[in-house]
Amino acid sequence: MDNQVIGLVANPTKATAADLTMQLAAQFRDAGGRLLMEEATATAAGLSGGLPLAAVAAEATVLVVLGGDGTILHTARQLGAAVKPLAAVNVGRLGFLTTATAAETDSFVQALIHGRYRISARQTIEAVFTDAEGRRHCQTGLNEAVISRGAAARTIRLDAVVDGVFVNRWSGDGLIVSSPTGSTAYCLSAGGPIIHPEAGVFCLTPICPHAIANRSVVISDSAVIELTASGASEELLLSIDGGAPWPLDLNGTVLLRRGAWTVPLVALPETTFYGVLRHKLQWNGGGV
C-alpha cells in the first residue's frame, strides 16, 4: 500500500518509550513510510519536528501508539470523532487492545507499511449527565461508564431504566455500564462476562452488590439507559474509561447510549480475539 503516513504517539511515562520511539521512527523511515510524530513524544525522545496530536491525526493513515490500553483510551478520548486507526505496541501490562509487542516491531512495521492488517470497529458509549455544580456534560468512552460512591463508605442504590422500562434497583458500591470492548476491563474484574468486541451490546454489571442474585445484564447497544440514585445523600462519582471522576448531581439522571462514532483498532491477520484471550488470561486450552 503506497503513501502510508504513520503517526507516532507514545506514553512518555513508560520507561522504554523514548528508546522504542527512536527505534520505530527509524524502522518506518527505512521501510519507506512518511512519519509524523506527536510533539510530547518527540520531546521525550530528544527529537525535533513534533506536531500537536490533532495535526498528526489529520494527516495520518494509521496512528501508532506506544503504551498500554490506558494510552489507547487516552488517545481515542482526545481525538473523539477525528480518531484514526490505532495500532498499539504494548509496553504496558495486559494490553487487550494492543496490536503487537516490542519484540514484534519488524513484522508490525511491515504489516502497516504494506496495509496487511484489518480494522476492528469498536463501538463507544456516550454519557449525558449533570455534575454537582449544575453543569451539563456529554462524554464518550470506549470501555465503560462507572457510577460509584465517593469518599463515604456507604451503600448506594441505583435505579436502572432501559428504553423506558424499569430493570432493577442495584444496591452496592456502584454500577459499570460497559461496551463489548470494556468487557475485559473493569467489568471483568467485577465478575462480568467476556463479550466479543464486535457484538452489538452493552453490559450492566453491579460493583460488590448486596444481593447475590444481582448479576450482570446484557442488553442491545441500541437501547437508552437511564440511571438515577435512590435516596442518595453522599457524593456520587461518574468516571469514563478510568478518567478523572465527575461528582454528580444527586437528583439528576445519567443517560447512556451508543456513541456517535466508533474507534478503529488495527489487528494483524494472524491475531484473533480468542487467541488474545488465551494468551492474556493464560488459558491452557486443554480439558480436565
Per-residue model confidence as pLDDT tens digits over 99-157: 998 889 999 999 999 999 999 999 999 999 999 999 999 999 999 999 998 776 788 99
- Confidence at residue 288, expressed as pLDDT on a 0 to 100 scale: 46
Per-residue model confidence as pLDDT tens digits over 77-90: 999 999 999 999 98
Residue with the bigger pLDDT between 93 and 215: it is 215
The answer to whether the CB of 138 falls within 8 A of the CB of 126 is: yes
Calpha distance 36→57 (Å, rounded): 9
Per-residue model confidence as pLDDT tens digits over 185-228: 999 999 999 999 999 999 999 999 988 888 999 999 999 999 99
- Three cell numbers written together for 276: 488474545
**Domains of the chain by range and CATH?**
5-117+268-280 (3.40.50.10330), 124-260 (2.60.200.30)
Per-residue model confidence as pLDDT tens digits over 158-194: 999 999 999 999 999 999 999 999 999 999 999 999 9
As a residue count, the chain comes to 288
The DSSP-derived string for 84-140 is --EEEEE-SSS-TT-SEEGGGHHHHHHHHHTT--EEEEEEEEEEEEEBTTS-EEEEE
Catalytic residues: 69
Calpha distance 183→179 (Å, rounded): 6
- Confidence at residue 285, expressed as pLDDT on a 0 to 100 scale: 64
Please determine, for residue 233, whether its predicted confidence score (pLDDT) is greater than 80: no
- Confidence at residue 145, expressed as pLDDT on a 0 to 100 scale: 98
CA dihedral (65, 67, 70, 76) in degrees, to 10, reads -10
- Confidence at residue 193, expressed as pLDDT on a 0 to 100 scale: 97
Please determine, for residue 237, whether its predicted confidence score (pLDDT) is greater than 80: yes
The answer to whether the CB of 183 falls within 8 A of the CB of 278 is: no
> What is the DSSP pairing of strand 5-10 with strand 34-37?
parallel
- Confidence at residue 235, expressed as pLDDT on a 0 to 100 scale: 87
Going by pLDDT thresholds of 50, 70 and 90, the confidence category of residue 15 is confident
